[in-house]
A and B are shown apart, each in its own frame.
Chain A
Amino acid sequence: MGSMNIGDVNKGSKLIFDNAPWNVQEVNFVKPGKGNAFYKLRVQNLLTRNVLEKTLRGGEKCESADVNDTDMEFLYQDANGYNFMDQTSFEQMSVSTERIGDDKDFLLENSQVVVTLWNGEPIAIRLPNTVEMEIDYTEPAVKGDTQSRVMKEAKLKATGATVKVPIFCAIGDRIKVNTQTREYSGRVDK
């Protein structure tokens, strides 16, 4: 998308290395008093999520990546993948099953997500931090034990995902799940 001087790179800049888009997580400027300047970057590959340290010399040019985050609503899944609608332009876009990956477990119809576009093509989605889902099946609840840290498996409606829940949870309960850690974070009051 054009070149930029390494000196203009900040946290959050998007750069191209090895034909892939990377997000700059951290920039450190290092330099002996009288000598060459270097920039030590921590970058994350937006396709693979790999994190790397990269060292560049002062004055070097970098290629900036055309990467944008767009608010979208998840509509439905079909044979081509997952279909989203841009909340400002109302245009629809399909994201492949491969790009969605494990996020499919917590991707609920009509939920709001952030879709990351590279050169206009979707490369990743960012789910809400927590989602509310209903327990489809779990072992019978152990009543009264709301303090226990003993966990059991529960299968969730809508996506069929499995998460660990406390033993007091029952079929039909609505629970909150942290989408980043995939952990139970509370029961929604009925």
Chain B
Amino acid sequence: MNQGSGLRALLQRRTAAVAAVRSFFAARDVLEVDVPVLQGGANLDHGVVPMAVETGRGRRFLPTSPEHPLKRLVAAGAGAVWALSPAFRHGEQGRRHSPEFRMLEWYRPGLDDAALANEVVALCQLVTGLDGPTTVLPWREAYRTFVGLDPASADDAAVIAACGPDATAVAGDRGAALDLLMATRIEPRLGLGEWTVLTDYPASGCAQARLRHDQDGWPVAARFEVYRNGLELANGYHEVTAANELAGRFQLELDQRQDPRLVMDQGLLAALANGFPDCAGVAVGFDRLLMLAWGVEDIAQVQAIPFAEA
């Protein structure tokens, strides 16, 4: 752990970054809010495992991002809102991952994913001081450019073969192979000297984003991620507004997981059922943003008390 003047400097830099974020949103009339950390239902994003806690008044789930309570506020008419909240992800620990971290998340009624991506880049520029152009790169195009295959037409064998000696790790699973290629072959080459907005994710990776078709008629999700220096910073959607559509996706994820601890977030679904505005939302890994701003490679270097020492 940092101590003395080094600790003080770290805390001051974090606080200064939060102040910059506050001024950014104040100028755009996005309201800072705080939201509960204990959720009645789990976030159900593919590949993200929530933690459960026993409260003595029933089981609650720690947020993997403050997405659900923020969307409930938006559904209830709160307008544009942002929060800097703790987020928790089971088992995610490495130089870029911490089981506990801070998520900067906001929702913008009336914006779509492309407009929100521009706002994300503007905020990242403000906090990091890094400039450079913004490049929008469709997910398919990233595989074509950096791996040499088009996931829309490549068969499972070709996708798995592209993993080379790592193919054994994916054990015949196409989705896992695409994830591995993304993490090892594509991400390190995104955001080099620019802000890369990776967009048009496949429909299978839609999470809570609405669906559309790309120019070839291939079904894609209105989802984007923002990269700089090979570091994934943000994940955003043009949000699904229909409660039943979201419930169907949650059920699919529950069926795949077979984890009896997990339950759907009925509070979120009920809020959406009462009406949800056309809206885009995004989550920025705040610790990652600080890593980029400070030029450090290990997430523990931006945390006053890192997870391993907590």
**Residue positions of A touching B, CB distance < 8 A:** 7, 27-38, 40, 55-58, 60
Contacts and interface: CB of A to CB of B under 8 A. Distances in A.
B66 to A, nearest CB: 15
Interface in B163-177: 165-166, 168-171, 173, 175-176
10 contacts: A7-B93, A27-B94, A29-B92, A33-B235, A35-B46, A35-B205, A36-B170, A36-B180, A37-B92, A38-B169
Interface stretch (B154-162, B181-189, B262-270): B181-189
B43 to A, nearest CB: 10
A18 to B, nearest CB: 12
B184 to A, nearest CB: 6
Interface in B70-96: 91-96
A42 to B, nearest CB: 14
B207 interface: yes
B209 to A, nearest CB: 11
B183 A31 contact: yes
B254 to A, nearest CB: 16
Contacts of A28: 94-95
A5 to B, nearest CB: 9
A36 B92 CA distance: 11
B184 A57 contact: no
A84 to B, nearest CB: 37
A57 B170 contact: yes
Given A31-B92, A35-B47, A57-B169, 9 more contacts: A29-B93, A32-B187, A34-B46, A35-B178, A36-B176, A37-B92, A55-B166, A55-B169, A56-B169
A35 B175 CA distance: 8
Contact of A33 (B93, B94, B176, B225): B225
Contacts of A34: 45-48, 205, 207, 235
B179 interface: yes
Contact of A57 (B45, B46, B176, B232): B176
A190 to B, nearest CB: 48
Contacts of A55: 165-166, 168-169, 180, 184
Given A37-B47, A55-B169, A31 B97 contact: yes
A134 B182 CA distance: 58
A36 B49 CA distance: 11
A56 B182 CA distance: 15
A30 B47 contact: no
Nearest to B176: A36
Given A36-B175, A38-B169, A56-B169, A30 B94 contact: yes
Q: Which of A7, A30, A32, A40 has its CB near the most chain B CB atoms (within 10 A)?
A: A32
Top 3 closest A-B pairs, CB basis?
A: A29-B94, A35-B179, A30-B183
B154 to A, nearest CB: 17
A47 to B, nearest CB: 21
A104 B131 CA distance: 59
Contacts of A58: 91
A34 B235 CA distance: 9
B124 to A, nearest CB: 16
Nearest to A5: B91
Contacts of A57: 169-171, 176
A184 B86 CA distance: 56
A32 B176 CA distance: 10
A59 B73 CA distance: 35
Contacts of A37: 47, 91-92
A117 to B, nearest CB: 29
B223 to A, nearest CB: 9
B93 to A, nearest CB: 6
A38 B46 contact: no
A32 B91 CA distance: 14
